[in-house]
Amino acid sequence: MRFKVTVGIPVYNDAAHIEKCLQSVIEQTIGFQNLEIICVDDGSTDETPQIIKKYKRNFRKYKNISYYTHPHTGNPSLSRNTIIDYAQGEYIFFVDGDDFLGVEAIEKMYSQGVKNQAEIVIGKYKGVNRNVPVKMFEEKKEKTNFFDSLVVDSLNALKMFKTSFIRENNIRFNPNIFHAEDHPFTMKAYLHAKTISIVNDYDCYYCTRYSDGTRTQLTKQLVPVDQFYAYFYETLDVINNAPLSEELKNLAAYKYWRRLLLFDIPNEFRRPRNLIDRKYSFGIVKSIALKYITDNIYKHFEGKEKLTLDIILEGSYRIFDEYMKLQKYIPSRTSQT
């Protein structure tokens, strides 16, 4: 590979923040000459293209900044797949255009990845006006896997993936998923990886949420109920098709369902949907649970997660709605992404 790391940045109307993002990559202690930046634009209508092209001109001696664009799709999947196709780095690090990196992030993540022959490297997240996973970074885990860690708490794609690993296993983003499109991608990577390495002693990745209204984030809009659940189906199918024993598939499904029951499903019912859509949404949740949760998966559930699942399987929206209120599922403080 020509570079140590390809920093892949899908962008869309990021003019207010993309310079901070790019600057944080250029200033990395690993050395800019060891990095490649690929920006792929989902049809921005602001000054994002001009800003990126300015950086490309200013650093043209390195020949390591590329800019591609395509018509607006409404999610970052096509952009990220383009990054996978063109990357010349040993690793691909997906970074969102309104986020930024700690100055030593790539050096620490790359060196730990190489040292441990890791297919995936996760750098510690730091939230800026938002919550991020915390518990998964409490222990030092230079060599771990999906089952011996809490990486299920973080199913975003904002990680470093070995390029050859992603390509050889045909791990790609589905452009037809408009919410949580990174769940099936990251889950497939987790379940195929022999080694996941976690950098827990340095704030590597600053996840932002700006209150100035300057950015329209992809996949943050309220999607129709049918489209919303697409990532459930695809991620659960990824688990069913993983190269694992049935016992491990069941355990992986349990870990993912536990996350859905305690985080994703409650969040869905916080969304401002009308009563008809809420009832329809509940019906889909029940049908998915009935389809995918076998007895060998069900036996793992306990406590609150089991109660939530049992109420869903019982099938009464009225009881489920009262349960949500009783559990005080107010705007989430749960640290998962």
Task: Mark out the alpha helices in 41-86 (DSSP H runs).
Answer: 48-58, 77-86
22-to-32, 35, 94, 293 alpha-carbon distances in Å: 11, 12, 13, 44
Mean pLDDT for the stretch of residues 14-41: 98
Q: Report d(CA 200, CA 146) in Å as an integer.
A: 16
With a cut of 80, say whether residue 336 has pLDDT above it: no
Contacts of 319 (CB under 8 A, 6+ apart): 311
Q: What is the pLDDT of residue 284?
A: 98
Mean pLDDT for the stretch of residues 55-79: 97
Q: Name the band, by pLDDT with cuts 50, 70 and 90, for residue 328.
A: low
CATH architecture assigned to 3-208: Alpha-Beta Complex (3.90)
Please tell me whether residue 295 adopts helix, strand or coil conformation: helix
With a cut of 90, say whether residue 319 has pLDDT above it: yes
333: tokens are 């403080």
Q: Are 32 and 7 in contact (CB under 8 A)?
A: no
pTM of the model: 0.94
291: tokens are 């389809």
Q: Are 282 and 317 in contact (CB under 8 A)?
A: yes
> What is the separation, in whole angstroms, between the first and last Cα of the chain?
31
The domain ranges of the chain are 3-208, 225-326
Q: Name the band, by pLDDT with cuts 50, 70 and 90, for residue 337.
A: confident
Q: Are 140 and 166 in contact (CB under 8 A)?
A: no
Mean pLDDT for the stretch of residues 168-175: 98
Q: Report d(CA 121, CA 195) in Å as an integer.
A: 9
Instruction: List, for residues 175-227, the tens digit of each pLDDT value.
Output: 999 999 999 999 999 999 999 999 999 999 999 988 765 554 554 578 999 99
Q: What is the pLDDT of residue 214?
A: 53
